Amino acid sequence: MYGPIPLILIVLPLLFQIIFGRKAIGENIKLNFGTISIICFLLQIVLSIISFLIASHHIEESSKAGEFRCGMGLLAIIVLSLFFTFFLLITMLIQYFIKRSYEKKRD
């Protein structure tokens, strides 16, 4: 259909948040947790738009080739983007509370 690239682009910010958010909580990297969260949220927005553009380009190319393609896949990409954005925000919130509990134990 559209290839795996649009789906991979949508999932990347969530994986980045899980991996590097955990490292920021444990203070294994120089970036703090807030910076990681902002980067992930902005990446989610930008990569969702790029994913949509790639998928719409594939539909346009297939329509030029004479094949009829349904545009419901674009709607699925939008819904997946919203779902993963929501899941990213939930992950950020959970990691924030974990970070806060670690800070309370240290004090």
48-106: per-residue pLDDT in tens? 999 999 988 888 877 777 766 677 888 889 999 999 999 999 999 999 999 999 888 87
In a domain, 56, yes or no: yes
In a domain, 30, yes or no: yes
Range of the domain at 11: 5-100
Q: Is residue 14 assigned to a domain?
A: yes
The answer as to whether 106 is a domain residue is: no
CA gap 93, 34 in Å, rounded: 11
How many independent structural domains does the chain possess? 1
Residue 73: inside a domain, yes or no?
yes
Residue 96 is encoded by which pair of tokens? 């924030």
Within 1-107, residue ranges assigned H as helices are 5-25, 33-64, 72-106
pTM for this prediction:
0.85
- What is the arithmetic mean of pLDDT over 20-45? 91
Short-list 66, 49, 54, 50, CA closest to 3: 54
CB 78 within 8 A of CB 50: no
